[in-house]
Structure 1
Amino acid sequence: MLTHGHGDHARVGMGRYHTSAAGLPILQWRLGEQEYHVHEYGEVFTLGDTRVSLHPAGHVLGSAQVRIEAGGEVWVVSGDYKRQADPTCAPFEVVRCDTFITEATFGLPIYRWPSTREVAHDIAQWREHCAARGETAILYCYALGKAQRVLAELQPFVDRPVLLHGAIAAGVEVYRGAGIALADTLPVIDPEGKAVRKTTDFAGELVIAPPSAAGSAWLRRFRHAQHGFASGWMRLRGNRRRRNMDRGFVVSDHADWPGLLQTIRETGARRVIATHGDTEALVRVLNESGVAAETLRTQYGEDD
């Protein structure tokens, strides 16, 4: 039962995969051809004596919460989710339940997100600042979800194509194939392996690349560049310094602290199980407010 296509939630070798219809193109891109069982949001299907349905999580394209009903109890597994508006995926749907298993990637009060539209405007202004200095603006984003969301939000603020690393371009085409409107883009390197322009011609351009490209030989083509990172982790300046970034842009595909508390309250859950991230503070606050809460440890963490 897959909530979305990120690598800590979707892995090969599982046999059969249940997914949302919107998430199928993502899984085909990330996992290849597998035995997929595809469900529309809200469609109820049975597994043994259990009634199951998938509901929008607002995390990335095709992301889903899993509603499980059995023995007179309703459990909801949130997967990763956010409450901010996102033009690239269906918005989060509140699903009432008895037990709510919630992520807590950013489960500390310091994590509160600014308007993504305002951040996109800041990114565009940063690009103009770099252009005035004869520099390239290189923005690091995760290849699934974050890069596409940034490109969607940039549309009102850019007047020329954004250049893409190959790992970003692949996911962008998947989103475009799903009908998601994004800013115009061009590859830094064309499919035949040739650079689309001379090294000196990258000045003033905005380039989106995955975090793995930072410090790699791929960057040598950009003689003068500033480096920025788009992530919820940029809420803390120390994270930007540790990554040696010139700029940090706070954009997250996870719920912030107010979003976590709002969601838990709206589900009406009597019991909450927190996982993935900073669970301790969230569990303590919930227990103090009269909600039975505990932590579930998992093997994998989460990038953002």
Structure 2
Amino acid sequence: MANKPLLEFTDRGIYCAKGKFYIDPWKPVDDAVITHAHADHAYVGHKRYLAHHLSREVLLYRLGEINLQTVEYAETVMKNGVTISLYPAGHVIGSAQIRVEYKGEVWVVSGDYKVEDDGISTPFEPVKCHHFISECTFGMPVYQWKPQVQTFIEINNWWRSNLHNGLATVLVGYSLGKAQRILQNLDLFNGKVYTHGVIENTNEALRRNGVQLNPTERITPESIKEEVRKGIIIAPPSSVGTPWMRKFQPYSFGYCSGWMAIRGAKRRRAADRGFVLSDHADWDGLISAIDATGCECVYLTHGYTATFTRYLNEIGFNAKEVHTLYGGEEEEASPEPSPEKREPGTQVENANKGLSFGEDLGEAGGPAL
């Protein structure tokens, strides 16, 4: 009888039977290793958590008081004879690829990743392995990102134009990852940065973790509207179309997402401007990252899995499509319900009842603002 693979895809998550732990499980387990703090990878209910130390405060903010062990990149942890180590994924602050080794066999679970250095997350680092588990959120040739410096030239010019025309500037991006990337790359000579409460809560958690972020000011009921309108407002997707956003009229509203590369996405999000800015790898980035691992087999977990699997097999990789519950955080910004039609049950269920899901999907306009 053939030996079971070191990592298996189960109804609870990616499981290592020899080590008796799961990676990014979506149902309660005893031992969970977490790639990053986004809601579709970090769920409530596990007995023990292991993650990178820069994820610590955000995980505690989102999930509450959990039994959390944190490590540095490349630090090793042993679980029942299996060696675990974390390496930078470049997705968001604290994101990690999970390297799992047993008797010379190496698997790497990438979580979500991007290969461009965004100036705030620890840059992606290829990890050699026999088996690589990869996302492919943007696994279609249409998704080709230009260097982020060009995108931020566009954003800063748009902000200046709005100031000249007497318009407030509202820029939308996810509270963990996108918001900090925007913050660190804005031209602050234009004015101050004001933040929605959900985003400022995340910023505060990261600052508690020792992350150095540019100055921001939380928008509260006491904030002076005309002063806020002179700066730039960073808000989460959940704020779009709410009374909270409308109180800053007249404004120009911009949306930052990889989905802005699709014709019509800006219109469907009701945005005045769409900026192509993603915290996931584009088509070329996915291929280069997978190739750099030197893996014998690649497993594709979420995104354009069927299309990308076929393409990788055509160009000589041994690629397999697997079904997981990942993909809910950034895919909520997609102009379509899902990148590809999936099997029933593969969408992320709103079963994660901690702060994590409410954070980006429905807290806008509440008293915390």
- Which TM class, normalised by the smaller chain length? over 0.9
Q: Post-superposition shift, 1:71?
A: 4.3
8 Å Cα contact 1:276/1:302 also seen in 2:
no
2:8 alignment partner in structure 1 = none
> Which one of 189, 198, 208 corresponds to residue 167 of structure 1?
198
What's the secondary structure of 2:328's corresponding residue?
coil
Cross-structure match for 1:301: 327
Q: 84, 105, 128: which is aligned to 1:52?
A: 84
Contact 1:121 1:157 (C-alpha < 8 Å) held by counterparts? no
- Alignment-mate amino acid for residue 196 of structure 1: S
Is it true that 1:196 corresponds to 2:223 in the alignment?
A: yes
Which of 162, 171, 176 is 2:207 aligned to? 176
Q: Distance in 2 between matches of 1:67 and 1:167?
A: 32
AA aligned opposite 2:150:
E
The secondary structure found in structure 2 opposite 1:280 is helix
2:67 & 2:229 partners in 1: Cα distance? Answer: 46
Following the alignment from structure 2 to structure 1, what is the Cα–Cα distance between the partners of residues 216 and 325?
Answer: 36
Over the matched positions of the two proteins, sequence identity in percent amounts to 43
SS of the equivalent of 1:303 reads helix
Query: How far is the alpha carbon of 1:91 from its aligned partner?
Result: 1.0
TM-score, length of structure 1 as denominator length? 0.93
Correspondence list, 1:1-304, <5 A: 1-154=33-186, 156=187, 158-189=189-220, 194-198=221-225, 200-304=226-330
| Higher mean C-alpha displacement, 207-216 vs 62-71 | 62-71
Question: What residue identity is the alignment partner of 2:125?
Answer: E
**Distance in structure 2 (CA, Å) of the matches to 1:252 and 1:258:** 14
1:176 CA displacement: 3.0
Change (3 A) 1:164 1:10: same
- Judge conservation of contact 1:124–1:158 (CA < 8 Å) in 2: no
Task: Indicate the larger mover: 145-154 or 116-125.
Answer: 116-125
Deviation larger for 136-145 or 115-124: 115-124
CA distance in 1, matches of 2:326, 2:96: 18
Give the Cα separation in 2 of the matches to 1:116 and 1:256.
12
Distance 1:158 1:303 in 2: 32
Q: Structure 2 length normalisation: TM-score?
A: 0.77
Q: Name the aligned partner's letter for residue 131 of structure 2.
A: T
The alignment of Structure 1 onto Structure 2 pairs a total of residues equal to 298
Tell whether the 8 Å contact from 2:190 to 2:231 is kept in structure 1 after alignment. Answer: no
Q: Once the two structures are superposed, what CA deviation does each residue of 1:144-179 show, in whole Å capped at 9, x if it has no partner?
A: 01000110111x453421111111111122233344
Superposed displacement of residue 53, structure 1: 0.9
Cα distance in 1 for residues equivalent to 2:175 and 2:114:
18
- The amino acid that maps onto 2:114 is K
Alpha-carbon distance in structure 2 between the residues aligned to 1:289 and 1:31: 42
Q: Does the aligned pair in 1 maintain the 2:255–2:273 contact within 8 Å?
A: yes
User: Counterpart of 1:264 in 2: which secondary structure?
Assistant: helix
- C-alpha distance in 1, partners of 2:52/2:229? 41
**Structure 2 contact 36–95 (Cα < 8 Å) conserved:** yes
Unaligned stretches of 5+ residues in structure 1:
none
Cα distance between partner residues in 1 of 2:80 and 2:329? 34
CA RMSD of aligned residues (A): 1.6
**Structure 2 spans left out of the alignment, 5+ residues:** 1-32, 331-369
